[in-house]
Each structure stands twice: as structure tokens, then as C-alpha cells.
Amino acid sequence: MDSANILSAHEIGDGLPILIIHGWQMDARVEEVDFEPIFSKLPGLRRIYVDLPGMGATPANNIKNLDDIYDRLVQFIDSRLGTSRFLLVGSSCGAYLARAIARKYTEQVDGLLLRVPVIEPDNSMRDLDAFTPLVTDKEIMSSMPDQYRALLENVLIQTPAYIQAMKAKYEGVWLPAVTASDTKVLDPIRADPQRYQLSFSLDDGAKFLAPTLVLCGRQDDNVGYRDSLRLLELYPRSTYIVLDRGIHGLPIDETGVFEALVRDWIFRVNEWRGVEK
């Protein structure tokens, strides 16, 4: 196998593998920041944080569309995991890819977690609500430094604590990931609805039976939540959550509910696998 096609990955821990797939123009570090505080406290989990082509430490290597990225994931899984059983976590576009991986490896995947999943790759087809702040504070917003004004002009919860948590994520992981991404290769893919989607359907009625968690943000103005309602029928063992105060970058300042839901998913996975805890 051409080593240039293998994804860069960072592994933590031993035990049941969990393949964790980040979103568009993000990287493994973005996922680590949110999931490691949870997974590090749960025994027996081998976390595999990958960087998709053109993102993080993985070179683009002439990818042309989302099918190419999916193919690289398949190569990585076949090389790194073989016939092992594993879990899947995906965020945003990574959740879209994770659904495809779960279909291909149905007999190996014992659990699926979809965070703010892309359901409609074509932006024009997404069922979205207009952005409206839930908590407003004009004084806080007007005093914001210029470098944050464009980024945070649409702040859902305009309180010092929320804004500080959002800025910390932006500075710590979001901005570095976007800056490091290969925009010359990625931007044309993202701009073309035919290239920013898989060539096969994920909504043909085939059911995935292992424990699943679908986490959506009620105020997510990127992918919304209504499009993902269709997943309830495709994933009979799914917990489907739409979080109030939830944006596409959830969680921001409130991580307790997020952790409880992820822990519950792992509990259900262990039960499914016949593992006593």
C-alpha cells in the first residue's frame, strides 16, 4: 500500500479501538480537546484521532472529492485495524463519513457517535433556522476587541463566561486547524456540491443496529437539526439529542451534559458487547 495514502493519526490508550473523525478543515486536536477529558477517565479504550487529507498533519495528495477522502479512511482502517471490532465517532462532515464507514464495516462497528452531523452536503438543501441570540448584552459585544468582532458577531450566549470559552476554543484549536489546512485543495471541493458529497446514498433504508448517539445543536445554523431526524429510523438503538444552547461547535461552556451523554453511549456499547463494568 502506498504509504502516502495513509492518514496521520494520534493514538492514546489501549483496548477497544475508537476511530475519531474530525470535521471539514479541522484536525485531530479539535476532537481531542472535547473527547479526551471523557475517554481518559474510561478504561479500556484505544482512541485513534485521525487527520483527514489536507488537514492536520496529513497531506492532501491530490484528493478531488469526498469519495477520495472516504477511500483514504477505508485504506487506513484496513491497514490499522484489519478485522478488529471498533467504535466510530464523527463530527460534522466527519459524522457524514463515519456513517459511510459504519455501513461498510457493519459487522465490525459496535457503536457510532455522530456530533452535529452533516446530513445534506449541499448547503442550499439544509433546513436551517436564522441565527438569533438567546442571551444578549450589547455592552459586552461592543467592547469586544477588533480581532474577535468578525468571528464572534453572532454569539449565541452573550455572557463573559460563554465568550471566553468560545474564544479559548477558537484560539486553541479552531483557528490553528483552519490555518494549517490545505485550502488550495479543499476550497474547490467544498464549493462544489457534487464533489462535497459521497457518490452513494446513506439514506436507502439500511439500518445500523449497534448503540448510537446523535448529538445536534438546536441553534446550529450550519447544519441545523431537522435534517437529522431521519436518522431515528436508520439507527434503531440511537439516543437522539437536540441540545438547547447548542451551536455547531458544541460543547462551548457547558460540558456536563455532553460528558453524561458520551458516557451513557459507552455504557450502552459495553452492554451491547456483553462487557460487564
What are the DSSP calls for 214-265, one per residue? EEEETT-SSS-SGGGGGHHHH-TTEEEEEETT--TT--SS--HHHHHHHHHH
Return the CATH number of 3-129+183-273, one of 3.90.1170.50, 3.10.450.50, 3.40.50.1820, 3.40.50.300. Answer: 3.40.50.1820
pLDDT tier at 147, thresholds 50, 70, 90: low
Q: What are 98-125's pLDDT values in tens digits?
A: 999 999 999 999 999 999 999 999 999 9
Query: Who has greater pLDDT, 254 or 102?
Result: 102
pLDDT higher than threshold 70 for residue 3: no
The reported pLDDT for the residue numbered 4 is: 46
Q: What is the spatial distance between Cα 26 and Cα 175, in angstroms, rounded to a whole number?
A: 9
Q: What is the 3-state secondary structure (H, E, C) of 75-111?
A: HHHHHHCCCCCEEEEEECHHHHHHHHHHHHCCCCEEE
- In the predicted structure, residue 82 carries a pLDDT above the cut 60: yes
Mean pLDDT to the nearest integer, 147-157 = 71
Q: Residue ranges per domain, the chain?
A: 3-129+183-273
Q: Please state, rounded to an integer, the average pLDDT across all residues of the chain.
A: 93
Reported pTM: 0.95
Chain position carrying cell 453511549: 265
For residue 5, pLDDT over 60 is answered with: no
